[in-house]
Structure 1
Amino acid sequence: MMEDDEPLTPGGRLFLQPQMNQIIHCVLGLKNPIDVESVKFQVENSVMLQHPRFSSVMVRDHRGIEHWRPTKIDIDRHLLVIHNPLPTFSSDDHQSAICDYLSDLSTSSTLSMDKPLWEMHILIPHKCVIFRIHHSLGDGISLMSMLLASCRKLQDPHSLPTISLPTKPPTNFFIRFYNLLVSLFYSFIYFLQFILRCLWIRDRKTAISGGSGVELWPRKMATATFALNDMKTVKAAVPNATINDVLFAVISSGISRYLDFRKPNGLRDGVQLTGLAMVNLRKQPGLQELSNLMRNNSGARWGNKFGMILLPIYYHRSNSSEPLEYLKRAKVMIDRKKQSLESHLSYKIGDFVMSTLGAKFASMLNYRILCNTTFTISNVVGPQEEIMIGGNPVTYLRANNSALPHALILNMVSYAGKADMQVQVAKDIIPDPEFLAKCFEDALLEMKEQVTAKI
């Protein structure tokens, strides 16, 4: 072990275990052709390379304990430039080609351990840049912050991108005391459910269920695109609803639509399917400047700082439920989750298991809860306005990760008035992700039509 070596965090060690080895993909679509030399210059002078995680290799000492060791960066080893169009059904179908490329990356491509654990794939014909970053370097909030620290507002080239942060209204002592009692009650219930889910309770088998080993199966990917104004219109129909409530209602309705299409035999109305959601635990929610993330005493510190919560949805036949009923059910359930400490407790459980039983046992526990649930969902809030990187306007911003035992993985990122949700599937279980993505889009439009019809 050398003097400059720094030990990995417990979360970093977890994501290096074979069963939990995860790579995050941040996808940037650009308006203008990509100049590779300009990209190299931007990377060499970016704040990214000022961060020690991005200029260190992972090494193991004589006891097998992982450490970060500073090294010299060779930019050419981190850039993969694709000059020819990716194969697809049509040479002009850029989105399908990019989805196919990401699908292959999710199962077939790892990061070399003899260099810092990140790389960039530059797809010249498709005007697309894919950042591949190992999850041991940080979570989605950290990595999106790192990426956006290199971007500027399109209309104000000297300003960093901004996001909207939620505000909480002030409350008096009695309301705070009541909220504490409610929080303790729901925390106990959901903590117990989380433990049981880790141990043996699992979802019923359906047409979208994964399981042990499914992370190795070939993948397909599609994109569901939503207008944030449509989501705002829908959320206004239910008092105090949020965009997250609408998103989860859309997922619940969309999955029910898809299961109807697959004609499930014996799948009764009301069957529970459980999603596993990742929740940012930083005191300051949202994307922060890199300087904040690098301070150890910051509430928005760098690294893997997220918990997990179980989000159940219930199958309902498409013709037997009012569209807005999905939103009402989603809001009740998510409000209770917000009042609980489930995400914090799940983080503490993982931290305790890592420190007492080791990374292998923690990895086994995480893998088990993935096998016992049906899908993964994450939602990262992106910039409100259009941005550019290196003077090149960004047309879309997306994110996804490498494969998990789930046959369905949903990753949403909002950007400049729209939200793109990457729908990643195990194609031998869900062969038609494009249709599933359309089910989600149609679910939102149906909710919007019901709202506008009542006005």
Structure 2
Amino acid sequence: MAYPGTFSDEPLTPAGRLFLQPHTNIIIHCILRGRNPIDIDAVKSTVKSSLMMQHPRFCSLLVRDKNGFEHWRRTQLDIDQHIIVINNRLDKSGNFMDESQGFSTEEEDEDYDEAAVNQYVANLTVSSPLSTDKPLWELHVLMAHKCSVFRIHHALGDGVSLMSMLMASCRRVDDADALPRMVPEKNVELKGGKRRDCFWLFGVFWWFVKMVWFTLMFVMEFTVKSLLLCDSKTVITGGDGVELWPRKLATARFLLEDMKVVKKAIPNTTINDVLLAVVSSGLSRYLDHRTPNALHEGLRMTGVAMVNLRAQPGLQDLSKSMKGNSEARWGNKFGVILVPVYYHKAGNNPLEYLKRAKTTVDMKKHSLEAYFSYRIGDLVMSLLGPKYASLLNYKLLCNTTFTISNLIGPLDEVTLAGNPISSIKVNTTSLPQAITMHVLSYAGRAEMQIIVAKDIIPDPEFLAKCFEDALTEMKEAALRNQ
């Protein structure tokens, strides 16, 4: 029931309206696996006392006025409508099992649990929208699997906002009163000294020239890709309508320490460079398996990547974001960049993938492509409305091969409702691409959720292994070069 006359309706942001359109109606899933059986009373108590219950987005209904414009309207929240408790065990198809049948040894295995929960979430990505009769979030608690699935509509916020909200309710395992650490602490040493102004000014001028050139080049490519040019067809290509096809979900696992070993092989390389190299090498391996000798060397596949545009990286200060602080603003504040990867036959030096990835990422970071994509979206929303902005985004996804996101999670193991969390993974509902990858780091590990259209990519578990093997091969090459 809405509060009568207590709060005025608040209009949605342009990004919020965009994510409610049919072609871009996206729900974010966060899978939390506990080490111990779930105490449902403790979960409800934690949710009731969390900052989420104070945030207007999580306590508001989506309503439309007589002109069709969307608004948030505060309502009385009923926790029991949002927390869905599932006691039945799942099979590998994500369906509920009859408890009277009993369970085999295999069905009690951790890998079996993972496969069952992955398929349960994969089924949700296509067939289960959130009801507008209540605020746009749910928590599915899978008691038999010691797992919870947090479902939040993208109109409420992006991955950075929602991870900040989740972590505000978590505490570190080694310190029950401490919030999770999200970004490593850095000791910054300031060095003084003289500089030659003429060289310094030339360096600034050259940096500016490159920034302008890269921005113009990438914004033009972004525009052409959104409207006209599509990737070459391969066995992993999606397209119009593929977002409605059945999904499968698999997980690739990496150790951050292995990624750090690889990035040391080339100076000034980042974890994001390594991740893009792993994707490029892994996709090449998979295509070699599916269509050996059918593709030409250097075939380009384009990915869509999300970039956080907030001035404050990492965990947001929710007290500031809820008050509208511009640097830590709640909601959706991200740009989009296009990241090309290239097919190469097996036998190449694995570190060549890293060199190419670093060159690409360095140019992207030196441009304002992400910022301009954000502003272009705002401009289209203002001039043409959410329908055409949604179609433009949809066309971009149809013209590219995959989407990838990378989110920083807590550095240490955390507890939620007193239960230590062994794994945190994120993904979203399906897109017209046949493959979507979402990476989240947690306590020294990084897990990539790979969502595929199963009629196009029937073996996502093998694809996950291709990514894992790619990192292993790069690590071995890096150690040999030391």
Structure 2 equivalent of residue 75 of structure 1:
79
What does residue 28 of structure 1 align with?
32
State the 1:396 CA deviation: 0.7
Q: How far apart, CA to CA, are the structure 1 residues paired with 2:402 and 2:331? A: 24
Query: Which contiguous aligned blocks of 4+ residues in structure 1 show a shift greater than 2 angstroms?
Result: 165-178
- Could you say if the C-alpha distance between residues 394 and 174 of structure 1 is closer, same or farther in structure 2, counting changes exceeding 3 Å? farther
Match of 1:91 in 2: 107
**In the alignment, does 2:479 pair up with 1:452?**
yes
Query: Quick one: distance in 2 between partners of 1:413 and 1:8?
Result: 28
The residue that corresponds to 2:216 in the other structure is 188
1:313 pairs with 2:329: no
Matches within 5 A, 1:303-452: 303-319=331-347, 321-452=348-479
Contact 1:272 1:312 (8 Å CA) reproduced = yes
1:27 CA drift (Å): 1.1
Q: How far, CA to CA, are the matches of 2:379 and 2:328 in structure 1?
A: 22
Distance (whole Å) between structure 1 residues aligned to residue 353 and residue 134 of structure 2: 47
Asked if the contact 1:164/1:384 (under 8 Å) is kept, the reply is yes
Residue 174 of structure 1 and its aligned partner are, at CA, apart by 4.5
Tell me, in whole angstroms, the C-alpha distance in 2 between the residues paired with 1:291 and 1:162: 17
Give per-residue Cα distances to partners, 1:215-257, cap 9 Å, x unaligned. Answer: 0000000000000000000000010000000000000000000
Task: For 2:135, give the aligned amino acid.
Answer: P
Which of these residues, 186, 189, 213, is aligned with residue 241 of structure 2? 213
Residue of structure 2 in register with 1:251 after alignment: 279
Structure 2 unaligned regions, length at least 5: 94-105
Q: Determine whether 1:43 maps to 2:47.
A: yes
3-state SS in 2 of match to 1:253: helix
In the alignment, residue 103 of structure 1 is paired with which amino acid? A
Asked whether the equivalents of residues 305 and 403 of structure 2 are also in contact (C-alpha less than 8 Å), the reply is: yes
Question: How far has the Cα of 1:169 moved from its partner?
Answer: 9.3
SS of alignment partner, residue 209 of structure 1: coil
Q: Equivalents in 2 of 1:407, 1:198: separation in Å?
A: 18
Alignment of 1:257-272 (within 5 A): 257-264=285-292, 266-272=294-300
Structure 1 distance, partners of 2:216, 2:368, is 9
Which amino acid in structure 2 is aligned with residue 255 of structure 1? L
Deviation at 1:266, TM superposition (A): 3.6
Counterpart amino acid of residue 143 in structure 1: L
Residue 163 of structure 1, CA deviation: 1.6
SS in structure 2 of the partner of residue 85 of structure 1 = coil
Identity score, percent: 57
2:154 to 105, 128, 135: 135
The one-letter code matched in structure 2 to 1:291 is S
Cα distance change of structure 1 residues 173 and 52 upon mapping to structure 2, 3 Å threshold: farther
Residue 14 of structure 2 is matched in structure 1 by: 10
RMSD: 1.6
Q: Is the 8 A contact 1:269 1:315 kept in 2?
A: yes
Which protein has the larger Cα radius of gyration, Structure 1 or Structure 2? 2
Note if 1:118 corresponds to 2:118.
Answer: no
Conserved? CA contact 1:165–1:285, under 8 Å:
no
Secondary structure at 1:356 match in 2: helix
Contact 1:165 1:286 in 2 (8 A): no
The answer on 1:101 being equivalent to 2:113 is no
CA distance in 2, matches of 1:272, 1:433: 21
1:293 aligns with 2:324: no
Please say if residues 31 and 394 of structure 1, whose CA atoms lie closer than 8 Å, have aligned partners that are also in contact: yes
Q: Is the Cα contact below 8 Å between 1:207 and 1:264 reproduced in 2?
A: no
Report how many residues are paired.
Answer: 454
Contact persistence 1:215–1:404 (CA under 8 A): yes
Give, in whole Å, the separation in 1 of the partners of 2:406 and 2:37: 29
Give the TM-score of the pair, scaled to structure 2: 0.92
Q: TM-score scaled by structure 1?
A: 0.97
How far apart, CA to CA, are the structure 1 residues paired with 2:231 and 2:84? 40
SS of corresponding position for 1:318:
coil
